[in-house]
Amino acid sequence: MAVSTNTDASALKARDFQGKVRPDWCPGCGDFGVLNALQRACAELGILPHELLVVSGIGCSSNFPGFFNAYGVHSLHGRALAVATGAKMANHELNVVVTGGDGDGYGIGGNHFTHTARRNVDLTYLVMNNQIYGLTTGQLSPTSTEGMQTKSSPFGSVERPVNPTTAAIMNGATFVARGFSGHGPHLVELMKQAIQHRGFAHIDIFSPCVTFNHDNDYPFFRERVKALEDEGHDPSDWKAACEKAMVWDDTIYTGLFFKAEGVPTLGRKEPVLAGGPLAHHPLGLSEEQAQKILKRML
């Protein structure tokens, strides 16, 4: 698969964001829908591949940067937000999108999720939530429902799942949404809004695992998901956003739950960044010193 060299933002197509590597996800995996939606969103926004960095952790969904034509970092398990924060602080003019799964992001990475939200780092965080550990072949994840039977809970889970949407709102994220990989056009619009938002934007995306989670499959969500936009929800209403996010029955809401405008981002509040991206500052070292450091690190 050839990587596009298109440099005309007005003529971008989704295929311009197809990476060199073909996705190795199981046929029918919800992550295909997320990949396609982000490719379309970036094309429609006119973001050129070199203007975008995609950072991931570990897991099925975290293979994402290899399938996407942009700068990419496949980082450590649960540490994608920390790596992305460093990249954003080094060059806060760069569009940074973080991709991962529910185990990576809400389990081992839960601490970073909390603090990235409260700091309001200008990142877009897309979590492919399949409510299972897929890469390790089907154990409970932080979002698995109570009573769910898996390899690690043959008699049913006794744990209550986390609610990432209410967590993001309460921890200070300034754009909080939920999508479904089976509703492509709706997801594209959410992604476009999230990328354009200045602040921490989180989208929890129902992305069914067709191999190991047969409880929360496509039919399960298609029968239940309902767009908040159809109910006239006011995303500036913090309390209503939390209440809608806690509904999980015959109706499960998707869409934009909460949005706060004008909240300063970490990049805007950090004085050292007032002079422009650190990546564009003079290094402050001689060429000899810089090469010595690089040689030691490599």
Whether the pLDDT of residue 2 is over 70: the answer is no
Task: State which amino acid sits at residue 138.
Answer: G
pLDDT, tens digit, for every residue of 143-159? 999 999 998 999 999 99
- Segment 206-228 shows an average pLDDT of 96
Q: What pLDDT is attached to residue 18?
A: 96
**What mean pLDDT comes out for the span 167-182?**
98
For 81-109, the pLDDT digits (tens) are 999 999 999 988 899 999 999 999 999 99
Q: Which residues contact 291 (CB under 8 A, 6 or more apart)?
A: none
| Sheet of strand 71-74: strand arrangement | 71-74, 52-56, 95-101, 124-129, 201-206, 175-180, 252-259, 225-227
The string of pLDDT tens digits covering residues 254-269 is 999 999 999 999 988 8
* The pair of three-digit structure tokens given for residue 2, joined into one six-digit string: 């050839």
- What's the predicted TM-score (pTM) here? 0.92
- Answer yes or no: are the C-beta atoms of 105 and 127 closer than 8 Å: yes
Residues 6 or more apart whose CB falls under 8 angstroms from that of 297 comprise: none
Domains of the chain plus CATH, in order, are 9-297 (3.40.50.970)
The predicted model gives 69-83 an average pLDDT of 96
Residue 3 has pLDDT above 90, yes or no: no
Q: Which residue has the higher pLDDT, 281 or 189?
A: 189
- Secondary structure of residue 230 in the 3-state scheme: helix
CA-based nearest residue to 206, from 221, 192, 224: 221
Confidence of residue 22 (pLDDT cuts 50, 70, 90): very high
- Quick one: average pLDDT of 101-118? 96
Range in 1-15, 118-132, 145-159 with the lowest mean pLDDT: 1-15
User: Does pLDDT of 27 surpass 50?
Assistant: yes
